[in-house]
Every structure is written in structure tokens, then in C-alpha cells.
Amino acid sequence: MAQHGLYDLTGAVVAVVGGGSGIGEAVALGAAEHGAIVTVLDANKAAATAVASRLGGDGAAGELDIRDRRAVDAALTALARDRGRLDAVICTPSINVRKPILQYTDEEFDRVVAVNLKGSFNVLQAAGRIMTTARRGSIVIFSSIRSQVVEPGQSVYAMTKAGIVQLVRTAAAEFGPSGVRVNAVAPGVVETPLTAPIRANADWHNAYANKSALKRWARAEEMIGPTLFLASDAASFVTGTVLFADGGWTAIDGRFTPPGM
């Protein structure tokens, strides 16, 4: 393997699920800049199309609700057929309902689990079928620091993000003999449209910034590197792992700096 081409995605067929905004949008644009042929899939078709229009002539877009197992399977199967291959699938969508456990409703519980856990499973399963048959490919699912550290109001979201970690590990064990790698990226707090309400609250924004070693929030484009590393040949012997892109949040959580240090 030529070492200078480790991160080169030229000609690679990549699907970015949730690529219509936020981290997914940044990753889709980053993958295209690294030479990939990117298809943006998102529940918001207009947003997906807008991002795809910025990818160049080979970019494509499609509407996809990851809660719909048949739709996910059909979308990825069609992509692999039309492009002749499927090299990487990156799945970013998730939602959160911040409420104490005792106030959670059945509908809220089902909604968060359906997107975060069932949706991720649907993408993983559909991509896995295609890639294990082809005996090659990389799948990257998004977890979170909440798989490890929590706070009040994060119960169901944290549960799903921890579940993704075990889902990824199991898929890595099952798909590995067929040459397919499966990994997770676990961001900390990232500046996206979904976190805008939190960032609008100065105390909340600053408290989160101070939780990381870098004393700030991540920008969405800072998730490109970790994600594309796992998707590329640079991570050819990396599978079943969780890459924390959290500015050191989980490393120093609960820290106390003694006087004089």
C-alpha cells in the first residue's frame, strides 16, 4: 500500500446518511474533496439536494427515512447497483428529547430509539449485506460522548448511543471475516443547527466549552478527519473501535486541578 495514498478516496463510492445538514453535511463535502463519489441521503430531500449540488458532477442526493428498513435497504442496494460498488457508508442522524426519566412519555421514548438505534441498525444491516457479499467496505456509525458520560435529561439518548457502541462491535466481529470494517465516531459538543438552542444560552454554552481540554466546542468540519480516517485505507486494520472526537472531554471528565498546578 502506498503510504502517501492512505487517505485518498478517489473513485470511492460513499453514502453519507444524514448528509443534509450539520456533521453529515460537513463529512459529505469533505469526502468529495478527498475524491469520493458521494451520495447524500437525508430525510430532508431539499437539504440533501442542496448539499449534493456543491459536491461536483458526480454528487447525488436522495430522500431517506432511516426508520424505514425497506427504504434503507432499497436505497443502498440501488446505489451499489448504479455505481457498481459501495465502499463506505457513514451514518450520522440522531435526535434527543432532553427530559428527566420520570417525565418521559412512551411516544418520546419510541421516537428517540427509532431514529438513533433502530435507524442506525437498519443502515448497518443494509450496508453489511452489500459489503459482506462484495467482501470489502467500511461502515461508520455515529455514537457520542454520552455513551460514556451523562447528565440529567440524557437518559434515552445516552442509552441509544451506548447501544450503538455494542452494535458496532458486534458487527465488526460478524463482518470482519468478509473484509468489512465497522467503527464509530463519538463526538463531544459540536456547533450544528441542532445545538443552536444550547449555544444561545451563554451559561450552558460556556459550561460545555469548559468541559473539554480544549475549552471550546467543535466545529462540524472537525468531524471530517476522524470520520474519513475510519472510512479510508488509513484505517485498514481498524475495526470494532470508537474514535472519540471530543476535545478531551471524556479523558478529563470529573477533573480537579489542585492548587499550584
Q: Residue range 246-256: average pLDDT?
A: 87
Band of residue 114 on the pLDDT scale cut at 50, 70, 90: very high
Regarding predicted confidence, which is higher, 65 or 6? 65
Which tens digits make up the pLDDT trace of 20-49?
999 999 999 999 999 999 999 999 999 999
Please give, one letter per residue, the 3-state secondary structure of the chain: CCHHHCCCCCCCEEEEECCCCHHHHHHHHHHHHCCCEEEEEECCHHHHHHHHCCCCCCCEEEECCCCCHHHHHHHHHHHHHHHCCCCEEEECCCCCCCCCHHHCCHHHHHHHHHHHHHHHHHHHHHHHHHHHHHCCEEEEEECCHHHCCCCCCCHHHHHHHHHHHHHHHHHHHHHHHHCEEEEEEEECCEECHHHHHHHCCHHHHHHHHCCCCCCCCEEHHHHHHHHHHHHCHHHCCCCCCEEEECCCHHHHCCCCCCCCC
In this structure, are residues 2 and 24 in contact, taking their beta carbons and an 8 Å threshold? no
Residue 1 has pLDDT above 70, yes or no: no
Closest-CA residue to 36 (of 234, 231, 237, 243): 231
Q: Considering the chain, what is the average pLDDT of its residues?
A: 95
Band of residue 6 on the pLDDT scale cut at 50, 70, 90: confident
Percent of the chain, pLDDT > 70?
96
pLDDT reported for residue 56: 83
Q: How far apart, in Å, are the Cα atoms of 11 and each of 33, 116, 131, 246?
A: 11, 30, 17, 30
Which tens digits make up the pLDDT trace of 72-110?
999 999 999 999 999 999 999 999 999 999 999 999 999
Which tens digits make up the pLDDT trace of 181-206?
999 999 999 999 888 888 999 999 99
What is the pTM for the complete model shown? 0.95
* Residue 260 in grid coordinates: 499550584
Phi-psi region of 69 (alpha: psi -120 to 50; beta: other; left: phi over 0): alpha
In this structure, are residues 72 and 130 in contact, taking their beta carbons and an 8 Å threshold? no
Query: Dihedral sign, CA of 162, 47, 138, 173?
Result: positive
Q: In what order do the strands lie in the sheet with 137-142?
A: 60-63, 37-42, 13-17, 88-91, 137-142, 180-187, 242-245
pLDDT reported for residue 261: 57
Residue 4 has pLDDT above 60, yes or no: no
pLDDT reported for residue 196: 87
Domains of the chain: 6-248 (3.40.50.720)
Annotated catalytic residues are 157
pLDDT reported for residue 256: 65
Residue 254 has pLDDT above 80, yes or no: no
